[in-house]
Amino acid sequence: MLLNLIRRLHILAGLLVFSQFVVFGLAGLVASLQPTLERPKIPQSTQNIPFTRLPAETDKQVATRVYQQLKPAMSRPVPDWAIRKNPEGHLLLDFYSINGIVRVAVEPTQLHVENIRNSTSLFLEDIHAATLNDTGASPLVRLWAYWNELGIWALLFFAITGTLLWIATRARDRWPWALLAASTVIFIAFWGVFRWE
């Protein structure tokens, strides 16, 4: 009875881990096969939105007001260090998200908005890096980060239940014990090297 329960939980954990490995594997392939680190720069769409900069308004205040007006999906306000100007002298704001960039040039009477979309492969590359430490992320990205965290714990559970199932059914086989001992020694060696580096 207990063995059957462990086997079922092991299979469920394996399915969760597999779904994580698919995303992480695709992200790894994208990073390996990507010819350049350059992101897309050609906008999928552009629009002009009326906007007037108030007298004596700082660049940071303008950036905050632009963010509040546009509310770009799954992005956050532009940090102070990322506020810059384009060659024409207009304030240039990039709102990043896993879907790409919303680039805004604050012109004298309007906002020139460009939507630069990530490809599916770049989307996977960006989403796989979401962690719970990113407290400013959108709720959807935070949900994915929880899914990543659950997948990490599921991998540990998968390994433990797999070991328990092996001990319960094939404890007399010598090769698995030798492999377990060898992997333990390798783990301890790597841990020692990185711990005291």
Tokens 């799954």, residue located: 74
Tokens 């240039």, residue located: 92
Which of 98, 124, 138, 159 is closest to 33 using CA atoms?
124
Q: Are the C-beta atoms of residues 62 and 77 closer than 8 Å to each other?
A: no
The pLDDT of residue 110: 92
Q: Are the C-beta atoms of residues 117 and 44 closer than 8 Å to each other?
A: yes
* Amino acid at site 140: L
The pLDDT of residue 197: 57
CA-based max dimension of the chain: 82
In the chain, DSSP assigns E strands to: 45-50, 84-85, 91-97, 100-106, 110-117
The pLDDT of residue 36: 65
Tokens 């599916």, residue located: 120
Query: Is-above-0.85 flag for pTM?
Result: no
Instruction: Spell out the per-residue pLDDT of the chain, length 197, in tens.
Output: 788 888 898 899 999 889 888 877 877 777 777 766 667 778 889 999 999 888 888 999 999 999 999 998 888 888 888 889 888 888 999 998 888 899 999 998 999 999 998 877 777 777 777 777 777 778 888 888 888 888 889 999 998 898 888 888 877 778 877 877 888 888 888 887 776 65
Q: Are the C-beta atoms of residues 151 and 16 closer than 8 Å to each other?
A: yes
Cα 29-34-38 angle, rounded to 5 deg: 140
